[in-house]
Amino acid sequence: MRISANGIQLNYQASGPADAPTVVMSHSLAATNAMWDPQMDVLKDYRVIRYDMRGHGESDAPDMDYSLEMLADDLLGLMDALEIDRTHYIGLSMGGMIGQTAALKDQDRFLSLSLCDTMSRVPPEMHSAWDERIANARADGMEALVEGTMARWFSEDYMAAEPAECDKVRDMIRNTKVSGFCGCCRAIQGLDLTDKISAITVPTQMIVGEDDPGTPVAAHEVMHEKIEGSELVVIPNALHFSNVEQKDAFNNAYMTFLGKQS
For every residue of 200-243, DSSP letters joined together read --S-EEEEEETT-SSS-HHHHHHHHHHSTT-EEEEETT--S-HH
Contact 166, 154 (CB under 8 A): yes
At residue 131, the pLDDT reads: 96
Q: What is the average pLDDT value for the chain, to the nearest integer?
A: 97
CA angle 248, 253, 258 (to 5 degrees): 120
What are the C-alpha distances in Å from 136 to residues 118, 141, 167? 23, 7, 21
Residue 171: its H or E element:
helix 163-175
pLDDT at 120: 98
**108-166 residue pLDDT tens:** 999 999 999 999 999 999 999 999 999 999 999 999 999 999 999 999 999 999 999 99
Provide the pLDDT confidence category of residue 174 given band limits of 50, 70 and 90.
Answer: very high
What confidence score (pLDDT) does residue 186 get? 97
C-alpha dihedral sign at 190, 195, 200, 206: positive
**pLDDT tens digits, residue range 31-59?**
999 999 999 999 999 999 999 999 999 99
Find the range with the poorest average confidence among 20-24, 76-80, 122-126, 139-143: 122-126
Q: In the predicted model, is pLDDT for residue 262 greater than 80?
A: no
pLDDT at 148: 96
SS3 217: helix
pLDDT at 241 over 80: yes
Phi, psi of 165 (to 5 degrees): -65, -40
Given a cut of 90, is residue 105 above it in pLDDT? yes
Question: Which residues have CB under 8 Å from 153's CB, separation 6+?
Answer: 169, 239, 240, 241
* Sign of the alpha-carbon dihedral angle for 40, 212, 105, 229: positive
- For domain 2-261, give the CATH number: 3.40.50.1820
What kind and span of H or E run contains 224? helix 217-226
User: Is the per-residue pLDDT at 4 higher than 90?
Assistant: yes
Residue 246: pLDDT band with limits 50, 70, 90: very high
What pLDDT shows up at residue 84? 98
